[in-house]
């Protein structure tokens, strides 16, 4: 019994102890700890690391001094030195995790951030960095990494906008060869490509490089053609790069240096800078994170001067805000019932280590909840509003664009993600993002390297002794454009002279050599030559290169130096005056229709006037003469007959207008025929060639063949290649029925030269394409733009015309006063007038006969009741007789019948006699009505 009682007491004590332990644990859940540990991994021997350590400690002190943030809980921070080493950084991170820290601030570099992020992911400890800007530190791969500054993605977008603003096409990227440098430059390349620019050369510098190593890289850069250099590195090596560049003469006139924000950090922290350091920065453009001035910032800047002799940079402000961000997230975490507890990582149980006590590495149980609270923080700090987007980036990325001048910097503009480049403050533009427009993309004047305000061209010809390999077609025809001397092998011609004159206008020397392309037997294909540029075989192609859509996909072209579209050339004969020249103005159909209408209109007017106008009455023979005389006399407005009816006057008025138009057109056309010498050809242009089946000639190896097939659907069997101008002449003289061609289609420049000594041929029809000749260069070649500018100068100063006259003005045919024969005036040009006139005649006749029929039915009511055979015989004859009667006779007979009816039968309204009805009006008009 006693034994059982003892065991019962033991069980009760155990249960009671369990309740006490559980209660204590529950009490600890709702109790905030007195101290929370955080850690920081920095590189102490860098200027960024030095000032960041001061800023972090200042933020810790301010948070601990403010009881409203953590309600009495204190933050404790421990600093660890990575010493630029990924291994040391990893070791420091592991040591930090042994101290039960809930967050890790740092490291400075993106390379170390990649390494430590794996530890943070495993142990679920948030890793916050205010300097690791590598865009590839993504939220998906590193969920516990939080960037408390802006990604390099936005810096590179800003630099790309600057490059596009100054109309440069290519840049050289100088960068540190690690994750930070490589990934940043990849982003730069993407941003440049989106704006039509590119990185022409990448110049990586190995980590821990000496000045000798840097010099070796920059010497290679100096041999490149681009002079726009983008430097993306760390502050320590960035100054060495500029110093070496200064010694190599690469900070002189013509160069453009653009750096990421490392240079602005150096200037802010190290101010005042030594004169030697300032001297290597002159004219450089750099970026700096934009931070709006506020009372908080001004207050901290005042306190900063009491803390250190270093200047205040944006890195310090972001470091300070990072601590406050952690403090507010911890406060929210504790409000949600979170506690500071760690558990053993089961993955480490099977591992043994002597350097580290792996069992001391534990997982932060509240890490995920704490991370969520960090990303939800919305606060106003020294850097402005801190708030994260859904992809864990800070909102409102913005930068100042600075120009280093003298001992300081000058702000030349701003850049923000919402407005791009702007002379206005990003705050103004951010409040009104709808105002984003090209008008905002304005930067102030820049003092470039070499103390000049003139915008550098951005490239020069490479100074490595390399000559441009310029392909020149070895033509066998039309050598006035491009030709090669058989004796000396030198090239000559219009195109050669234009290119030489343009190169001489360039402000720099361009060494080049011409390379003949072609076998000398037939003309080479210009399209194939242009494609060789794209393949890298040549640096340019000059000559008679037509700018076509297909070729522009292969290369860039200069400004056209001669206009040359496709035309049709055919044999022509000179028209001369003849006995029947007066018939030429109108086509046969026009003459026929005009004559018919003269007769028709005369007949219509006769019909409308016949019953009321004595001039249109009489014997049939006389009436026929009257109709013909009246019709044709209207041509000269000399008709004697007067029209009395309203319908007749309307028809005549409209016809006189038609006659006026016909007469004027005839006179003008006949005058031209008799006074100007004309050329005649059965070919009217490309349209007539399409409708025929005759053979068509074209220049061998020209783009004309494929163009006619693709654009005009001409069958390839009809196209005959002709290599020489003599072949043109022979084929055209032979004609399509004797083994020749009906016409030749070629570019106007060739044809004009061909026609200069061959007067039996001429261009027929209109030019049916519009293009020009230009010089071809590789895609995005800056030489193309400079040559284009030089060609425009040649055009403005008259040199281009002088070269043209030298090679191409040698015409032996006099064409003064000669025109190509104009087509005869066809019926199509006047069919609208004839249609209107015919319609008017028809309507007038319709109205006239309707009135006549109504009058006839009143006089002969039996006509409307008759049908069949009786209608065809008696009534029809009576109707024709009625129409032929003079209207006065009909009215007189009507009055007489009404009078007879009045004497026999006096009725009020209607009288009838032999089925004839007489109205009251007829009675009143009868002679007996007054009796």
For 168, phi and psi rounded to 5 degrees?
A: -90, 150
Mean predicted confidence (pLDDT) in 155-184? 94
Top mean-pLDDT range of 315-329, 634-648, 744-758, 773-787: 315-329
pLDDT of residue 149: 94
CB 345 within 8 A of CB 371: no
CB 757 within 8 A of CB 814: no
Query: Which has the higher per-residue pLDDT, 920 or 305?
Result: 305
The backbone torsions φ and ψ at residue 739, rounded to the nearest 5 degrees and listed phi first, read 85, 5
- Tell whether 285 and 420 lie within a shared domain: yes
Which candidate, 157, 166, 227, places its Cα nearest to that of 192?
A: 157
pLDDT band at 471 (very low <50, low <70, confident <90, very high): very high
Per DSSP, the three-state class of 867 is coil
| Residue after which a domain boundary falls, among 675, 692, 709 | 675
Q: What confidence score (pLDDT) does residue 419 get? A: 85
| Per-residue pLDDT band at 348 (split at 50, 70, 90) | low
Q: Are 536 and 605 in a shared domain? A: no
Which has the higher per-residue pLDDT, 43 or 637? 43
Residue 782 covered by a domain = yes
420 lies in the same domain as 527: no
- For residue range 688-727, list pLDDT tens digits in order: 888 888 999 999 989 999 999 999 999 999 999 999 999 9
Mean pLDDT, residues 785-807 taken together = 93
Given pLDDT bands bounded at 50, 70 and 90, which one contains residue 438? very low
Helices 235-247 and 47-65: crossing angle in degrees, nearest 10, is 150
Highest-confidence range of 89-103, 122-136, 579-593, 636-650, by mean pLDDT? 122-136
What is the number of structural domains in the chain? 5
Same domain, residue pair 689 and 803: no
With bands split at pLDDT 50, 70 and 90, how would you rate the model's confidence at 227? very high
pLDDT at 698: 95
Query: Both 269 and 412 in a single domain?
Result: yes
Give, in order, the Cα–Cα distances in Å from 76 to each of 24, 73, 96, 310: 25, 10, 12, 24
Predicted confidence (pLDDT) per residue in 353-378, tens digit = 554 555 557 889 999 999 999 999 99
Q: What is the pLDDT of residues 802-815, one digit of tens each?
A: 999 999 886 656 54
Instruction: Tell which wins on pLDDT, 598 or 8.
Output: 598
Cα(172)–Cα(437) distance, rounded to whole angstroms? 29
What is the predicted pLDDT for the residue at 860? 62
Question: Do 331 and 371 share a domain, yes or no?
Answer: yes
| Domain around 625 | 581-675
Residue 844 lies in a domain: no
Residue 858 lies inside a defined structural domain of this protein: no
Position 920 scores a pLDDT of 44
CA–CA distance from 614 to each of 601, 646, 881 (Å)?
19, 16, 17
C-alpha 810/C-alpha 319 separation (Å) is: 79
Q: Is residue 861 part of a domain?
A: no
CATH value at residue 62: 3.40.50.2300
Q: What is the tens place of the pLDDT at every residue in 15-64?
A: 334 433 344 344 334 478 999 999 998 888 888 999 999 999 999 999 99
Q: What pTM was estimated for this model as a whole?
A: 0.66
pLDDT of 146 reads 95
For residue 14, being part of any structural domain is answered with: no
The residue with greater pLDDT, 156 or 631, is 156
* 3 state SS for 347-361: HHCCCCCCCCCHHHC
Q: DSSP letter for 258, please.
A: E
Considering only residues 431 and 646, tell me which one the structure prediction assigns the higher pLDDT. Answer: 646
Residue 479 covered by a domain: yes
Contact residues for 321 (Cβ-Cβ < 8 A; gap 6+): 59, 130, 148, 379, 381, 382, 383, 386
Whether 921 is in a domain gets the answer no
Mean pLDDT in the chain?
82
Answer yes or no: do 43 and 106 share one domain.
yes
- The answer to whether residue 698 sits within a structural domain is yes
Contact at 8 Å (CB) between 76 and 96?
no
Q: What CATH number did the domain enclosing 478 receive? A: 3.40.190.10
Percentage of residues of the chain with pLDDT beyond 90 = 46
Strands (E), 701-800: 719-722, 743-747, 761-764, 772-773, 776-777
| Rounded Cα–Cα distance for residues 67 and 74 (Å) | 9
The pLDDT, as a whole number, for residue 815 is 47
Claim to verify: residue 494 and residue 424 sit in the same structural domain: no
Q: Which of 201-215, 667-681, 727-741 has the lowest mean pLDDT?
A: 667-681
Together in a domain, 337 and 477: no
- Domain stop point among 648, 675, 702: 675
pLDDT digits (tens, 9 = 90+) for 102-144: 999 988 888 888 888 888 888 899 999 999 999 998 878 899 9
User: Both 425 and 477 in a single domain?
Assistant: no
Output the CA angle 620-624-627, nearest 5 degrees. 135
Q: Are 537 and 486 part of one and the same domain?
A: yes
Same domain, 283 and 341: no
Going by their DSSP bridges, the two strands 35-42 and 74-81 should be labelled as parallel
Least confident of 2-16, 202-216, 260-274, 299-313: 2-16
Cβ-based neighbour number of residue 144 at 10 Å? 26
Domain end residue (candidates: 612, 640, 675): 675
d(CA 510, CA 787): 11
pLDDT category at 425 given cuts 50, 70, 90 is confident
- Reported as a pLDDT band with limits 50, 70 and 90, residue 388 is very high
**Residue range 151-162: mean pLDDT, rounded:** 95
Q: What is the pLDDT of residues 649-683, one digit of tens each?
A: 788 788 888 888 888 887 887 777 766 556 667 78
403: helix, strand or coil = strand
């Amino acid at each position: 019994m006693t034994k059982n009682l003892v065991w019962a007491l033991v069980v009760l004590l155990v249960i009671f102890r369990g309740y006490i332990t559980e209660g204590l644990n529950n009490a600890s859940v709702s109790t905030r700890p007195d101290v929370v540990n955080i850690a920081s991994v920095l590189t102490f021997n860098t200027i960024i690391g030095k000032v960041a350590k001061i800023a972090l400690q200042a933020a810790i002190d301010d948070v601990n001094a403010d009881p409203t943030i953590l309600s009495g809980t204190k933050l404790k921070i421990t600093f660890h030195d990575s010493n630029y080493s990924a291994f040391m950084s990893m070791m420091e991170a592991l040591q930090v995790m042994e101290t039960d820290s809930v967050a890790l601030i740092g490291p400075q570099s993106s390379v170390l951030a990649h390494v430590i992020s794996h530890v943070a992911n495993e142990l679920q400890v948030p890793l916050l960095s205010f300097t690791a800007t590598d865009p590839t530190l993504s939220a998906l791969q590193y969920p516990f990494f939080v960037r408390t500054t802006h990604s390099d993605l936005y810096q590179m977008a800003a630099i790309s906008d600057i490059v596009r603003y100054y109309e440069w096409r290519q840049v050289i990227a100088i960068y540190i060869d690690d994750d930070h440098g490589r990934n940043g430059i990849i982003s730069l390349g993407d941003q440049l490509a989106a704006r039509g620019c590119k990185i022409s050369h990448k110049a990586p510098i190995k980590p821990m490089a000496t000045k000798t190593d840097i010099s070796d890289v920059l010497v290679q850069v100096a041999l490149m053609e681009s002079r726009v250099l983008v430097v993306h590195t760390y502050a320590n090596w960035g100054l060495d790069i500029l110093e070496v560049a200064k010694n190599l003469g690469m900070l002189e006139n013509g160069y453009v240096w653009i750096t990421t924000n490392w240079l602005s950090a150096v200037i802010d922290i190290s101010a005042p800078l030594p004169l030697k350091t300032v001297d290597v920065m002159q004219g450089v453009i750099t970026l700096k994170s934009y931070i709006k001035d506020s009372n908080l910032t001004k207050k901290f800047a005042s306190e900063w001067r009491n803390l250190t002799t270093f200047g205040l940079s944006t890195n310090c402000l972001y470091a300070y805000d990072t601590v406050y961000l952690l403090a507010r997230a911890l406060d929210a975490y504790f409000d949600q019932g979170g506690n500071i507890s760690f558990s053993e990582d089961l993955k480490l149980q099977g591992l043994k280590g002597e350097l580290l006590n792996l069992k001391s590495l534990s997982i932060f149980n509240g890490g995920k909840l704490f991370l969520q609270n960090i990303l939800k923080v919305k606060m106003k700090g020294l850097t402005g509003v801190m708030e994260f987007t859904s992809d864990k980036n800070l909102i409102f990325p913005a930068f100042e664009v600075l120009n280093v001048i003298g001992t300081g910097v000058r702000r030349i503009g701003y850049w923000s993600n919402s407005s791009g480049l702007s002379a206005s403050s990003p705050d103004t533009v951010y409040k009104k993002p709808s105002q984003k427009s090209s008008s905002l993309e304005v930067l102030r004047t820049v003092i470039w390297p070499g103390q000049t305000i003139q915008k550098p061209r951005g490239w020069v010809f490479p100074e490595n002794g390399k000559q441009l390999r310029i392909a020149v077609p070895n033509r066998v025809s039309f050598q006035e454009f491009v030709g090669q001397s058989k004796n000396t092998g030198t090239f000559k011609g219009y195109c050669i002279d234009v290119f030489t004159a343009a190169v001489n206008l360039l402000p720099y020397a361009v060494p080049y050599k011409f390379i003949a392309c072609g076998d000398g037997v037939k003309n080479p294909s210009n399209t194939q030559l242009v494609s060789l540029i794209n393949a890298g075989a040549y640096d340019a192609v000059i000559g008679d290169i037509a700018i076509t859509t297909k070729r522009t996909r292969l290369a860039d072209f200069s400004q056209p130096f001669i206009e040359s579209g496709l035309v049709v050339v055919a044999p022509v004969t000179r028209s001369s005056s003849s006995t029947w020249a007066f018939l030429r103005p109108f086509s046969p159909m026009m003459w026929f229709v005009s004559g018919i209408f003269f007769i028709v209109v005369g007949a219509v007017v006769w019909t409308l006037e016949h019953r009321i106008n004595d001039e249109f009455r009489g014997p049939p023979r006389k009436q026929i003469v009257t109709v013909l005389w009246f019709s044709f006399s209207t041509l000269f407005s000399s008709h004697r007959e007067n029209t009395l009816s309203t319908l007749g006057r309307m028809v005549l008025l409209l016809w006189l207008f038609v006659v006026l138009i016909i007469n004027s057109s005839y006179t003008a056309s006949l005058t031209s025929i008799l006074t100007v010498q004309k050329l005649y050809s059965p070919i009217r242009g490309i349209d007539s060639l399409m409708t025929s089946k005759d053979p068509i000639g074209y220049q061998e190896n020209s783009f004309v063949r494929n163009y006619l097939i693709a654009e005009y659907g001409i069958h390839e069997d009809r196209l005959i290649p002709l290599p020489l101008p003599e072949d043109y002449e022979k084929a055209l003289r032979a004609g399509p029925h004797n083994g020749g061609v009906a016409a030749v289609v070629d570019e106007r420049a060739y044809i004009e030269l061909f026609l200069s000594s061959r007067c039996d041929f001429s261009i027929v029809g209109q030019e049916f394409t519009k293009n020009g000749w230009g010089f071809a260069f590789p895609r995005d070649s800056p030489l193309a733009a400079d040559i284009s500018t030089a060609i425009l100068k040649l055009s403005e100063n008259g040199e281009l015309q002088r070269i043209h006259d030298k090679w191409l003005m040698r015409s032996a045919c006099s064409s003064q006063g000669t025109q190509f024969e104009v087509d005869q005036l066809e019926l199509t040009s006047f069919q609208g007038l004839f249609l209107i006139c015919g319609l008017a005649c028809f309507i007038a006749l319709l109205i006239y006969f309707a009135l006549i029929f109504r009058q006839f039915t009143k006089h002969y009511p039996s006509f409307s009741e008759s049908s069949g055979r009786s209608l065809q015989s008696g009534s029809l004859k009576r109707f024709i007789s009625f129409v032929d009667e003079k209207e006065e006779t009909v009215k007189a007979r009507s009055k007489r019948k009404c009078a007879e009816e009045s004497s026999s039968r006096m009725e009020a309204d209607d009288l009838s006699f032999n089925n004839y009805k007489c109205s009251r009006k007829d009675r009143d008009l009868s002679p007996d009505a007054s009796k």
